[in-house]
């Protein structure tokens, strides 16, 4: 059973109930003897709802919003299709969770462009404190928004003019509940958010008898979470997307040479921090200029760049830091999703990578601005 756009022939399906159990012949959608919604194919009955009803005086209505609602004789809501999302995030639907009722609103892609059954990708709201949107590939993070939700944040990272002129987003966050929903400022066009079979969250507009792509996430290879593995630098501007960071080398040279970069890079030389009596020089910092900072940063209150350096240098788990406009952040352990931005990109910042002093000889091979502390 499907809900679809009425006057659109291309990619028109927005919701399917029995995507795991497709019917193979003519079937009937009905309200059964016990008052529940059901799909009947011959002698086979697929229960859409399984409610304990005191009477069977119920009705089902498909609203203009695309929501199929099931009500009792008092017009009280018993069930709605918006609580069981497909791959399309329509106005009035939710993305998030409510632990009080054990409900999660997440979106699952098609298996392929021709197969409506559940695919590998899931769009959901991360229940962590930052409330980021994530796309999972199976159980692994495939993409996530770089900023948490806030009054001035653009969670989908679409152009501000697009967001402000089209969408009115509302974010609800309480102790056991968090979800994102939205409405349109204008209702004279057809737009939708959808998660396609390749794991892209797409914002599309029906224009001149076809779907026009307004924006998508991830847009480029480097936007994919850990696309190059840990401790690497990714650049969408170069034909060779990635390379190991200074002082690092492929964790598996064989996999790297075969184009498999998921294992990322490892240090050539161990840091000296915490090692006693080795007689080696102290660890140093190498400046990477005009980069998009890695994931999983920690914010620390300090007053100067010197305090930043000291805080990271004395913490043996610290792999690097950044200090921009009075904001100090550190990173512990592996560095994920660091991007080298092109020279004409003004949104980048500087990142100070912590290295063993014995790595100094590798700097001449790095094509970037250098600062040694």
pLDDT the model gives residue 103: 93
CB 232 within 8 Å of CB 243 = yes
Q: Is the dihedral of CA 343, 346, 351, 357 positive or negative?
A: positive
Residues of the chain with pLDDT under 50: 151-153, 362-373
pLDDT the model gives residue 302: 75
pLDDT the model gives residue 240: 67
Let me know how many helices (H) and strands (E) the chain has, helices first.
Answer: 3, 30
- Provide the whole-model pTM: 0.83
pLDDT the model gives residue 155: 53
- Going along the chain from its start, the domains and CATH numbers come out as 18-83 (2.90.10.10), 84-219 (2.90.10), 222-365 (no CATH)
pLDDT the model gives residue 219: 87
pLDDT tens readout for residues 3-42: 999 989 899 999 998 888 888 788 899 998 788 999 998 8
pLDDT the model gives residue 142: 94
CB 131 within 8 Å of CB 173 = yes
Environment class of residue 277 by beta-carbon count within 10 Å: exposed (0-12), middle (13-18) or buried (19+)? exposed
pLDDT the model gives residue 83: 96
Q: Under 8 Å CB-to-CB from 257, ≥6 apart: which residues?
A: none
pLDDT the model gives residue 129: 77
- Cα-atom radius of gyration of the chain, to the nearest Å? 26
């Amino acid at each position: 059973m499907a809900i679809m756009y009425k006057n659109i022939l291309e990619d028109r399906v927005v919701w399917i109930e029995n995507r795991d159990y497709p019917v193979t012949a003519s079937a009937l959608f009905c309200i059964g003897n016990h008052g529940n919604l059901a799909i009947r194919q011959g002698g086979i009955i697929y229960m859409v709802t399984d409610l304990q009803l005191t009477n069977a005086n119920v009705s089902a209505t498909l609203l203009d919003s695309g929501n199929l609602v099931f009500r009792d004789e008092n017009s009280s809501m018993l069930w709605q299709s918006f609580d069981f999302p497909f791959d399309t995030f329509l106005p009035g639907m939710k993305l998030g969770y409510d632990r009080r009722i054990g409900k999660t609103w997440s979106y699952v892609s098609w298996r392929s462009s021709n197969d409506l059954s559940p695919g590998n990708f899931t769009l959901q709201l991360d229940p962590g404190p930052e409330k980021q949107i994530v796309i999972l590939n199976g159980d692994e993070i495939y993409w996530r928004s770089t900023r948490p939700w806030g009054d001035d944040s653009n969670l989908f990272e679409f152009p501000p003019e697009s967001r402000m002129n089209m969408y009115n987003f509302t974010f609800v966050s309480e102790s056991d509940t968090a979800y994102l929903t939205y409405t349109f400022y204008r209702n004279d066009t057809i737009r939708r958010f959808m998660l396609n079979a390749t794991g892209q969250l797409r914002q599309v507009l029906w224009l001149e008898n076809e779907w026009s792509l307004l924006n998508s996430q991830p847009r480029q290879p480097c936007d994919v979470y850990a696309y190059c593995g840990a401790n690497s630098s990714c650049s969408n501007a170069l034909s060779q997307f990635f390379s190991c960071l200074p002082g690092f080398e492929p964790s598996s040279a064989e996999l790297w040479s075969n184009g498999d970069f998921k294992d990322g890079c490892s240090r050539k030389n161990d840091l000296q921090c915490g090692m006693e009596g080795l007689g080696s020089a102290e660890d140093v910092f190498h400046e990477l200029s005009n980069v998009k900072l890695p994931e999983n940063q920690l914010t620390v209150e300090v007053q100067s760049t010197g305090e930043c350096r000291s805080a990271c240098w004395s913490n043996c788990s610290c792999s690097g830091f950044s200090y921009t406009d009075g904001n100090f952040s550190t990173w512990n352990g592996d560095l994920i999703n660091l991007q080298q931005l092109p020279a004409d990109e003004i949104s980048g910042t500087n990142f100070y990578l912590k290295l063993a002093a014995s790595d100094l000889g590798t700097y001449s091979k790095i094509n970037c601005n250098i600062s040694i502390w």
